[in-house]
């Protein structure tokens, strides 16, 4: 790739800042759109402590709402929480050009259609991030572990945009898997996230082993996972039942882990309830798949904390 593309990151929190750093390492021009941390990042840059080394960088430009770009970006990377009331199309519309490729690095299932419908002529890449990172102070990020991306064109297939972006991330130092079935990969990630994330909130921010080791906890996780597999199958994406054992065994091998939804809850932040769980139940209802365990967890969480 002779000339490196211009990258604009909308939502430069922990995740957006980290992947911006990786693209900066690859030699790209990386700019960010910020609200609350605009002055801090504009004057001091973004500081990232990582097992990969010091990934701190100064964005090529820092923008806020109402600013004008000198030129449209080649890639616009959206890294915001998928919450009710957050108009993601409105967040990207002022910044894209006719040839801009939209890239979503966000959680959940059935989250791409809003952007695909709003920007039908722009290529859209959907990414799943496997990373542990958190914001520790304005403009400061702690990257604890991982960083791998799984990406593909939405709704399916691969194109030059996918291959080129994957090559840049790899050049920057992380692993990337390309997939022609990115929605299938989202379902595979939901198999873990949809049971564990909501239960961690119902259990007051419990870690993974606390959930599994509580009497009845593993059985409940298994029941929720079985329902996710049934919903995915009705939606056209088959997952092997053996994945339930594989996920639980893998989780037991990990150190006790508080997932991102648990941390958001403990920090008083809104949780991505619909993206991670509510949309799964909505798809189940659309296909008339009974999901009593998922529905019970969803209702209990809505009683405890309104989504978003």
pLDDT mean over 47-59: 96
pLDDT mean over 74-86: 96
3-state secondary structure of 9: strand
3-state secondary structure of 123: coil
Distance CA 280, CA 161 (A): 29
pLDDT band at 80 (very low <50, low <70, confident <90, very high): very high
pLDDT mean over 232-252: 97
Q: What is the pLDDT of residues 148-195, one digit of tens each?
A: 999 999 999 999 999 999 999 999 999 999 999 999 999 999 999 999
Number of Cβ atoms within 10 Å of the Cβ of 147 = 23
pLDDT band at 307 (very low <50, low <70, confident <90, very high): very low
Distance CA 47, CA 32 (A): 14
pLDDT band at 230 (very low <50, low <70, confident <90, very high): very high
- Residue 2 has a pLDDT of 57
Instruction: Kindly tell me if the per-residue pLDDT of 1 is higher than 80.
Output: no
Instruction: Kindly tell me if the per-residue pLDDT of 36 is higher than 70.
Output: yes
Residue 111 sits at φ, ψ, to 5 deg, of -110, -10
User: 214 vs 65, which has greater pLDDT?
Assistant: 214
Instruction: Kindly tell me if the per-residue pLDDT of 56 is higher than 50.
Output: yes
- Residue 304 has a pLDDT of 84
pLDDT mean over 215-229: 99
Distance CA 112, CA 32 (A): 21
* Buried/exposed 76-111: b ≥16 CB within 10 Å, e otherwise: bbbbbbbbeeeebeebbeebbeeebbbbbbbbbbbb
**Which residues does residue 63 pair with via DSSP β-bridges, in sequence order?**
33
pLDDT band at 35 (very low <50, low <70, confident <90, very high): confident
124-137/47-50 β-pairing: unpaired
Which parts of the chain are beta strand (E)?
6-10, 29-33, 47-50, 53-54, 61-63, 75-78, 101-105, 124-137, 140-153, 176-178
- Residue 135 has a pLDDT of 87
pLDDT mean over 220-236: 99
pLDDT band at 277 (very low <50, low <70, confident <90, very high): very high
pLDDT band at 255 (very low <50, low <70, confident <90, very high): confident
Distance CA 288, CA 29 (A): 48
Instruction: Kindly tell me if the per-residue pLDDT of 136 is higher than 70.
Output: yes
Number of Cβ atoms within 10 Å of the Cβ of 157 = 12
* Domain definitions of the chain by residue range: 6-180, 184-304
pLDDT mean over 273-282: 98
Element spanning 172, H or E:
helix 160-172
From residue 282, alpha-carbon distances to 228, 231, 235, 290 in Å are 12, 10, 11, 11
CATH topology of domain 184-304: 1.10.1040
Q: Which CATH architecture has domain 6-180?
A: 3-Layer(aba) Sandwich (3.40)
Q: What is the pLDDT of residues 287-303, one digit of tens each?
A: 999 999 999 999 999 99
């Amino acid at each position: 790739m002779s000339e490196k593309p211009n990258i604009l990151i909308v939502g430069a929190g922990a995740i957006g800042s980290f992947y911006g750093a990786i693209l900066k390492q690859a030699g790209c021009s990386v700019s960010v759109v910020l609200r609350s941390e605009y002055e801090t990042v504009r004057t001091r840059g973004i500081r990232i402590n990582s097992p990969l080394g010091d990934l701190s960088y100064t964005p090529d430009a820092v923008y806020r709402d109402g600013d004008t770009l000198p030129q449209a970006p080649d890639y616009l990377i959206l890294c915001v929480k998928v919450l009710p009331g957050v108009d993601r199309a409105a967040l990207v519309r002022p910044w894209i050009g006719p040839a801009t490729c939209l890239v979503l690095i966000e959680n959940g299932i059935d989250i791409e259609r809003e952007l695909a419908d709003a920007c039908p002529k722009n290529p859209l890449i959907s990414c799943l991030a496997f990373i542990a990172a958190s914001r520790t102070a304005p403009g400061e990020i702690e990257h604890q572990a991982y960083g791998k991306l799984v990406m593909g064109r939405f709704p399916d297939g691969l194109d030059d945009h996918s291959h080129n972006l994957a090559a840049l991330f790899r050049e920057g130092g992380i692993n990337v898997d390309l997939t022609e079935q990115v929605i299938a990969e989202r379902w595979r990630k939901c198999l873990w996230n949809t049971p564990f994330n909501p239960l961690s909130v119902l259990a007051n921010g419990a870690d993974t082993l606390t959930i599994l080791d509580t009497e009845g906890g593993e059985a409940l996780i298994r029941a929720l996972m079985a329902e996710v597999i049934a919903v995915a199958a009705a939606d056209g994406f088959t997952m092997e039942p053996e994945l339930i054992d594989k996920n639980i065994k893998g989780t037991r091998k990990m150190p006790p882990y508080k997932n991102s939804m648990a941390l958001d809850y403990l920090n008083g932040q809104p949780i991505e309830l619909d993206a991670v769980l509510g949309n799964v139940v909505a798809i189940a209802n659309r296909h008339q798949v009974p999901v009593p365990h998922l529905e019970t967890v969803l209702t209990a969480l809505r009683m405890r904390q309104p989504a978003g």
